[in-house]
């Protein structure tokens, strides 16, 4: 809670009390949340508040004017991609590697290292299904009205 006091009329003339108005639930602040929940079901364990923060951090990266009617879907997909990439990087940092091959007697094991990289082009988007879906919307959006 902040230290600011809000004066709210509470009754008769001149009767006021200092009360901080209640905040609505965070999930109601972001219209892309419902798209995220439908498109990124694997992130069901994340709270609405955490997802909204991710959506807000991703918003500056997605242009409303470019995506038009598909803006909320594009925002949800790019957010899901960024969360997935972060989780992959965390898993690899913890040593959770995927086994690429294993000898029959178990004496030789090789691991697959899918290290996510960060670059300015679309190549990193290809690393998740959410990024691929984002690119599909980006590359296939209609130029004008379709009748």
Q: Looking at residue 97, what DSSP letter applies?
A: P
Tokens standing for residue 138: 């980006």
| Most confident residue range from 59-73, 92-106, 120-134 | 59-73
Can you tell me whether residue 111 is helix, strand or coil? strand
Alpha-carbon gap, residue 39 to 44, rounded angstroms: 10
pTM for this one?
Answer: 0.63
pLDDT (0 to 100) of residue 44: 92
For residue 15, being part of any structural domain is answered with no
H or E segment at 112? strand 109-112
Biggest distance spanned by C-alpha atoms of the chain: 87
For residue 3, being part of any structural domain is answered with no
pLDDT (0 to 100) of residue 10: 46
pLDDT tens-digit readout, 27-84: 456 889 999 999 999 999 999 999 999 999 999 999 999 999 999 999 999 999 999 9
For residue 14, being part of any structural domain is answered with no
For residue 146, being part of any structural domain is answered with no
Backbone Cα Rg of the chain: 23
For residue 8, being part of any structural domain is answered with no
- Alpha helices (H) in the chain, listed in sequence order: 33-39, 48-58, 64-67, 71-93, 129-140
Alpha-carbon gap, residue 110 to 128, rounded angstroms: 23
* Higher-confidence position of 142 and 141: 141
Residue 101 · residue 61 · CB < 8 Å: no
Alpha-carbon gap, residue 64 to 58, rounded angstroms: 12
For residue 16, being part of any structural domain is answered with no
Domains: count for the chain:
1
Tokens standing for residue 120: 């300015």
**Can you give the residue range of the structural domain that contains 129?**
24-140
Residue 134 · residue 125 · CB < 8 Å: yes
pLDDT at 8 over 80: no
For residue 2, being part of any structural domain is answered with no
For residue 113, being part of any structural domain is answered with yes
């Amino acid at each position: 809670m902040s230290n600011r006091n809000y004066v709210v009329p509470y009754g008769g003339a001149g009767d006021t009390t200092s009360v901080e108005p209640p905040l609505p639930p965070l999930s109601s602040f972001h219209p892309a949340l419902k798209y995220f929940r439908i498109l990124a079901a694997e992130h069901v364990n994340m709270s609405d508040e955490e997802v909204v923060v991710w959506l807000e951090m991703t918003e500056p990266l997605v242009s409303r004017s470019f995506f038009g009617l598909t803006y909320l879907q594009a925002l949800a997909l790019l957010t899901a991609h960024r969360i997935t990439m972060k989780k992959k990087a965390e898993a690899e940092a913890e040593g959770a590697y995927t086994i690429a091959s294993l000898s029959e007697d178990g004496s030789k094991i090789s691991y697959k290292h899918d290290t996510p990289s960060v670059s300015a082009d679309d190549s990193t988007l290809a690393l998740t299904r959410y990024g691929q879906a984002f690119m599909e919307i980006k590359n296939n959006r209609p130029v004008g009205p379709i009748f």
